[in-house]
Structure 1
Amino acid sequence: MPHALELQDITVTFRSKDDPGQRYTAVAGTTLRIAAGEFVSVVGPTGCGKSTLLNVGAGLLQASSGEVRVFGEPLVGLNRRAGYMFQTEALMPWRSAIDNVMLGLQYRGVADADAREQARAWLARVGLAGFEDRYPHQLSGGMRKRTALAQVLALDPDIILMDEPFSALDIQTRQLMENEVLELWAAKKKAVLFITHDLDEAIAMSDRVVVLSAGPATRPIGEFAIDLPRPRDVAEVRNQPRFVELHARIWGELREEVLKGYAQQLQKAA
């Protein structure tokens, strides 16, 4: 079977608006494949191009070279088989929780009554029954994340793209959200490409972890199969000896790149 999402030899080069001759290559020669039903996390130093790769997979950004395939077909325009959960919630502040979840369904032509029924069911599934009529400013950070998750899952995408979706949450809420995502993923086994800075999070949730080099011209430098048994509780799994072993191996690959990225940030700030 073809991969759900395949980024083949992707290079992304940006040109300066002020000086078109000045270029910055964020990603170079990167190949990344996610099978149907596979949960893959990508980790790397700050500013290494993780979100750039996600945007290419979503069809929000066109690569300078290389090819994107979705279930074997070349991607042209937006990836309509993917749902995207952003780092910051893409919730409209003037719409209630249920109206936000309904929005994508309405864009797809679902009748308002059916869209409302499906949105209500998804809000209940993520633990927000009774909060349908609350506006984003009336919800906690975790509740807003649950609403954003329902917004994505209501569209029943074949691929889920997640860009550090829980980074702003406190540790307890974050672990609750991680476990909820794993439970929902296990039920339907969608392909997931998950971007995170948190190596513990990547190992606890994933089937496979891909390590990117420091930028510019980032590329994959390591790939690790996560053979921890499922189902997993993200807090409890961290105590398993195999988790500790995997963490040490992956951090051994990642540490030098993180130090490089940190040194580059210091140079820019100087």
Structure 2
Amino acid sequence: MATPDQPALALQDVTCTFASREDRKDRYTAVRDTTLSIAPGEFVSVVGPTGCGKSTLLNISAGLLQPSSGTVSVFGEPLKGINRRAGYMFQADALMPWRSALDNVTAGLAFDGVPKDEARSRGEAWLKRVGLSGFGDRYPHQLSGGMRKRVAMAQTLILDPDIILMDEPFSALDIQTRQLMENELLDLWAAKRKAVLFITHDLDEAISMSDRVVVLSAGPGTHPIGEFSIDLPRPRDVAEIRSHPRFVELHAQIWGVLREEVLKGYQQQLKPAVAE
């Protein structure tokens, strides 16, 4: 039985190893001996070098990947199969091109057997919450990138998950649209205070949104090498908070840890090209 003081999500000594794509006999360890927990209502961002294994951690948390060793628990219960208490917002939106914005938002409700009229009412309410009232009949190709992200966010949050998993959801947007979406997400999060695990390569984004930032090492065998409490005042505007003196201090501290790992990751990416 879960108790209130248990983490919403906990990874304990998790390692995830795959067969190499070049030689099935070789093994590649994406994540090694990783322990990470997120409290109910906490917003945690994970940053690390490109390709270090951040998305692997998210997929393990979602139950889409099983760790080779270690344990994953959700509100104190061992995770078996798909994490039904989590909603997942991918880097590329998962909108179905043949369905309208409203039908995309309500797709999960239909799968759960929610009556059509109730699903429609809830879907329209969520489109209004994300600033898309009146756009329910539009199809994905008729929406801008920012509007598509709003639909994807409503699609995730309409199911009222206890845990929200987000894999660089705003990375493809221009900076102005990205900051608007970040603020909208923070407003929605503040209303219900769900646990959030947010993957990003953007340190500014991580600091401006989070309660805590976890830094991962370069791969292979990525693991946490630093953890920072973000003691900035809330509510926050993600653009304005970046001029706060404490933001500048935190950025310098975290970048001091992250920089070396980014350089390691960059050198590793160069190796195949050098070998060729």
TM-score normalised to structure 2 length: 0.97
Gaps (5+ residues) in structure 1?
none
Gaps (5+ residues) in structure 2?
none
1:100-249 superposed matches below 5 A: 100-249=104-253
Deviation digits for residues 209-268 of structure 1, max 9, x if unmatched? Answer: 000000000000000000000000000000000000000000000000000000000112
Residue 10 (structure 2) aligns with: 6
Partner-residue secondary structure (3-state), 2:41: coil
Match of 1:53 among 34, 53, 57: 57
In the alignment, the residues of structure 1 paired with residue 213 and residue 135 of structure 2 have an alpha-carbon distance, to the nearest angstrom, of 35
In the alignment, the residues of structure 1 paired with residue 35 and residue 93 of structure 2 have an alpha-carbon distance, to the nearest angstrom, of 28
Match of 1:30 among 25, 29, 34: 34
1:95 matched to 2:99: yes
Residue 21 of structure 1: CA displacement?
1.4
Percent identity over the alignment is 77
Structure 1, 105-114 or 140-149: larger mean CA deviation: 105-114
Displacement over 2 Å in runs of 4+? 16-20
In the alignment, the residues of structure 1 paired with residue 217 and residue 51 of structure 2 have an alpha-carbon distance, to the nearest angstrom, of 10
Tell me which amino acid in the other structure corresponds to 1:133: D
Tell me which amino acid in the other structure corresponds to 1:198: D
In the alignment, the residues of structure 2 paired with residue 269 and residue 147 of structure 1 have an alpha-carbon distance, to the nearest angstrom, of 39
Residue 20 of structure 1: CA displacement?
2.7
In the alignment, the residues of structure 1 paired with residue 152 and residue 146 of structure 2 have an alpha-carbon distance, to the nearest angstrom, of 10
Tell me which amino acid in the other structure corresponds to 1:231: P
1:79 matched to 2:83: yes
Residue 64 of structure 1: CA displacement?
0.5
Aligned pairs, how many? Answer: 270
Tell me which amino acid in the other structure corresponds to 1:243: F
Root-mean-square deviation (CA, aligned residues, Å) is 0.7
Residue 251 (structure 1) aligns with: 255
Tell me which amino acid in the other structure corresponds to 1:123: L
In the alignment, the residues of structure 2 paired with residue 76 and residue 17 of structure 1 have an alpha-carbon distance, to the nearest angstrom, of 27
Residue 269 of structure 1: CA displacement?
2.6
> Cα gap change, 1:249/1:263 in structure 2, threshold over 3 Å: closer, same or farther?
same
Partner-residue secondary structure (3-state), 2:124: helix
In the alignment, the residues of structure 2 paired with residue 16 and residue 226 of structure 1 have an alpha-carbon distance, to the nearest angstrom, of 38
1:266 matched to 2:263: no
Partner-residue secondary structure (3-state), 2:106: helix
In the alignment, the residues of structure 2 paired with residue 124 and residue 268 of structure 1 have an alpha-carbon distance, to the nearest angstrom, of 49
In the alignment, the residues of structure 2 paired with residue 268 and residue 99 of structure 1 have an alpha-carbon distance, to the nearest angstrom, of 45
Partner-residue secondary structure (3-state), 2:16: strand
